[in-house]
Amino acid sequence: MTSYLKFGVFTRLYYPSKDHGILDRYLQWPLWLPHKEYLNGYSVRLGMPPCFLRFLHQMLVGKLYIPAIWQAPLRPTEEKYPVIVFSHGLSGWRTSYSSLCLELASYGFVVAAVEHRDFSASASFYKKQVRMSTSGTNPGASLCDLDDLLNDQSDFESSDLVDGKWDPGQGVQDVGPFCHAKEWMLYQRATKENESRLRSRQLKYRAKECMEVLDLLEDLNKGRYVANVLESHFDSGMFYNQLDLKKAFFIGHSFGGATGVLCLATELRFKAGIFLDPWMFPFYGDQSSFSMVSEPFMCLLVKSFQTKKSFRLLKLLQDMHNDSQFLVLKDAYHRDLCDTPFIKKFSLSLSSKIGFRIERFAILDLASDIILQYLGHHLGKDFRGCSSKIESLKKKYLRAEDYMNKLVR
């Protein structure tokens, strides 16, 4: 987190480490669920009491850890690391795609997983500055509250902008001793009346955050000082001259996939994009950004999630860009592309066991292989050799563009 202000960048970095013996150093693994507030926010999305969801999580899941070393040193390299900006879906957060991000990092990518603070994540927070009295008896009042996104009529413009950038001196008053406390922002459900406008505004805000993450990666690569207000001992200097920003890619799932369409239409630094089962609702009213996409991209779609209208919009996007690639997964679920398969302590569905749908871990292997092949194509590398298991999965569950054309009819 780069700022105490309401619009700072918040991201989790996954990168190749020079440390070994990760499985033996499990005490250094970070928690997959950073805080219980993420469950509280997800309960809003599900429409159930937070206490009930926390109880289910404790009984069926328990504590999960990400098999990676927290704040490990970067593995130095003479060949700079390509970078990926990853955008989560609706009600996701910065660690909810850790399995895919770790897989990409293990193949030599530096992945910046954004936690969007537009009320589309299950939860997020910023460090609010509060006034402290000299006697210590009065906790004081907030000095920089977050504007209510749902009620604010502006398109996320702020007086904190100076020459097009956020000025850390604006919005904070020098009024004496203060401390910083977490201010939580839980997921906000949309109504039928405001959903179209809300999602359109969130889409723009998400794209802006992804571009700011690219700015952050550039600063890290140039050795510039980058503030981290999470009071971490993370050594950002180890990224100096280690990142190849000319090989910057975008990957997003669901709402993150839609975010990628807008990013590739407005940000020229991305070399290519991968949209994992994009949620096309934000484009129902306005497809003007489709023609502005200037870089190649790949769409990996899940048949059961996309509607007829979504397929028509995707076909429109495809017709505008001959260098794009569209693939369709059969017999899979939309949520299979995030960490959901790992948080099920018990498999609640027999369909995968008797062959009606793809096995829940196999889809992540398949998706990782497709993504790495596409990235390798743009980097001139072959990240993975042929695997009989993957080839079998592709033959059974993966369909090409002509299959999507049939679904549009």
Is 378 among the residues known to form the active site? no
Tokens of 109: 């990518």
- Select which of 254, 289, 324, 352 is catalytic: 254
Q: How many CA atoms lie within 13 A of 409 on its CB side?
A: 5
* Packed helices 362-379 and 98-106: angle between N→C axes, nearest 10 degrees: 40
254 assigned to active site: yes
Residue 306: closest CA among 325, 333, 285: 333
Rounded to an integer, what distance in angstroms lies between the CA atom of residue 374 and that of residue 103? 14
Pairing mode, strands 270-276 and 243-253: parallel
Cα 100 from Cα 365, distance rounded (Å)? 9
Given the residues 118, 160, 277, 339, the one annotated as active site: 277
Cα–Cα distance, 91 to 98 (Å, whole number): 15
Alpha carbons 41 and 261: distance in angstroms, whole number: 26
Which position among 88, 116, 253, 334 bears the catalytic label? 334
Q: Is 369 a catalytic site residue?
A: no
| Catalytically annotated residues | 254, 277, 334
